[in-house]
Amino acid sequence: MNVDGKAMRSIWVEPDGWSIGVIDQTVLPHRFATVRLTTLQEAAHAIRAMVVRGAPLIGATAAYGLCLALRQNTSDDSLERSYDSLLATRPTAINLKWALDEMVAAVRNRPRDERSAAAYRRAAEICDEDVAINTAIGRNGVALIKAIAQRKKAGERVNVLTHCNAGWLATVDVGTATAPIYLAHDNKIAIHVFADETRPRNQGASLTAWELAHHGVPHTIIADNTGGHLMQHGLVDLVIVGTDRVTAYGDVCNKIGTYLKALAARDNNVPFYVALPSPTIDFTVTDGVAEIPIEERAADEVATITGRTADGRIETVRIVPDGSAVANYGFDVTPARLVSGLITERGVIAASRAALARAFPDRAGAAE
């Protein structure tokens, strides 16, 4: 999508044909800076330090990390060590392992002098496939927005609420929850986004707002507490969020606080949709609340916050009393009964076992 009026992706091969460029997401929204990755170690560090984040972008960065490693050493031994070292950067990200497995499959049976070129080709495909999936999600989801727009009076906007960042910064481009939003905006549908700030890491205020602003999509940042009030007063037409994992029955694991917005949507008859690439569906899990382990993260994410001072320095401040305990759960699970539908690359699907099995018969069957 656009940054300062110029179309770009979140990861790219530099003009030298081999080094990799990414956006440094740790200093957004206050500074826009790119980082050039030239070694396996630099790629691994970018993932670990969250210079890049979001499951699809982590997968893409790992894929190119393996390219950088093979450029220096094409041996089986190097391939294996590089795989292990990249896999260890963010052990819970499901796309990371998938992308690394794809890369190994693409190069393993080739002569050593072909491996590097084959790796770059497969990494580029992985990126293009991500964009193609997200573009399809956008096409399928934009129909929901169009239908609402047609019921609006002249001059009224479609108001979408989203939580966290399931935007193009989390993917290679387009994003998942944002895909229908960008497509609607590009098609001249009047759309406005309420972006939950998304404590404790503030991905909504820092990343979603930044990318919407750069692409020119009207938006308003709100505290996470606000969505229920907006829905009570008819100020939200539609909720679209992303997800980290969807179960075989359609339960949705996503950033902590998603469940509260789903409850408010249900209480006020606001449609609640989840946008996802189908690999996010985990057909081995049935009951999301009971079965999905919820990561507890560092207390400092709640206890401190980073921002920009009046004189332009990036500073971290503590916002809780010394000695108070802090709990930091990263995700929650929204039961399928609260989900209006799943926006996938194969269409908008009901959040139910039957509908998911029908849409993905190969994968649903394999997991039984």
- Provide the minimum distance between the beta carbon of 164 and a copy of itself in the complex, in angstroms, as a whole number: 9
Among positions 158-197, residues that touch a copy of itself (CB under 8 A) are 194-195, 197
Q: Which is nearer to a copy of itself, 113 or 311 (CB)?
A: 311
- The one segment of 18-26, 109-117, 298-306, 343-351 that binds a copy of itself by CB under 8 A: 298-306
**Does residue number 263 form part of the binding site for a copy of itself (CB under 8 A)?**
yes
Strands 245-247 and 281-282, by their bridges, are: parallel
Q: Which is nearer to a copy of itself, 227 or 250 (CB)?
A: 227
Alpha-carbon distance values, 166 to 133, 261, 294, 337 (Å): 14, 16, 19, 22
Q: What angle do CA 212, 216, 220 make, to 5 degrees?
A: 50
**Does residue number 329 form part of the binding site for a copy of itself (CB under 8 A)?**
yes
**Does residue number 200 form part of the binding site for a copy of itself (CB under 8 A)?**
yes
Among positions 82-101, residues that touch a copy of itself (CB under 8 A) are none
Give the C-alpha separation, 230 to 257, whole Å: 16
Nearest to 277 by CA among 363, 207, 164, 203: 363
Is position 244 annotated as part of the catalytic site? yes
Q: Which is nearer to a copy of itself, 7 or 319 (CB)?
A: 319
- Provide the minimum distance between the beta carbon of 30 and a copy of itself in the complex, in angstroms, as a whole number: 8
Nearest to 334 by CA among 268, 241, 231, 199: 241
- The one segment of 1-9, 87-95, 228-236, 278-286 that binds a copy of itself by CB under 8 A: 228-236
Give the C-alpha separation, 286 to 296, whole Å: 22
- Provide the minimum distance between the beta carbon of 83 and a copy of itself in the complex, in angstroms, as a whole number: 34
Q: Which two tokens stand for residue 262?
A: 């789903």
Among positions 5-44, residues that touch a copy of itself (CB under 8 A) are 28-30
Q: Which is nearer to a copy of itself, 115 or 219 (CB)?
A: 219
Give the C-alpha separation, 80 to 75, whole Å: 9
**Does residue number 323 form part of the binding site for a copy of itself (CB under 8 A)?**
yes
Give the C-alpha separation, 186 to 352, whole Å: 32
Q: Which is nearer to a copy of itself, 75 or 225 (CB)?
A: 225
The SS3 call for residue 25 is coil
155 contacts: CB under 8 Å, gap ≥ 6: 190
Q: Which is nearer to a copy of itself, 111 or 293 (CB)?
A: 293
**Does residue number 308 form part of the binding site for a copy of itself (CB under 8 A)?**
yes
> Distance between alpha carbon 6 and the CA centroid of its chain, in Å?
21
**Does residue number 4 form part of the binding site for a copy of itself (CB under 8 A)?**
no
**Does residue number 62 form part of the binding site for a copy of itself (CB under 8 A)?**
no
- Provide the minimum distance between the beta carbon of 25 and a copy of itself in the complex, in angstroms, as a whole number: 13
Among 3, 8, 35, 305, binds a copy of itself (CB under 8 A): 305
The CB-based long-range contact list for 40-47 (8 Å cut-off, 24+ gap) reads 40/65, 40/66, 40/68, 40/69, 40/72, 40/82, 40/85, 40/86, 42/68, 43/68, 43/86, 44/85, 44/86, 44/89, 46/22, 47/86, 47/89, 47/90, 47/96
Where along the sequence are the contacts to a copy of itself (CB under 8 A)? 28-30, 194-195, 197-200, 202, 205-206, 209-210, 212-213, 218-230, 232-233, 255-257, 259-261, 263-264, 267, 289, 294, 302-310, 315-329, 331-333
Q: Kindly list the catalytic residues.
A: 244
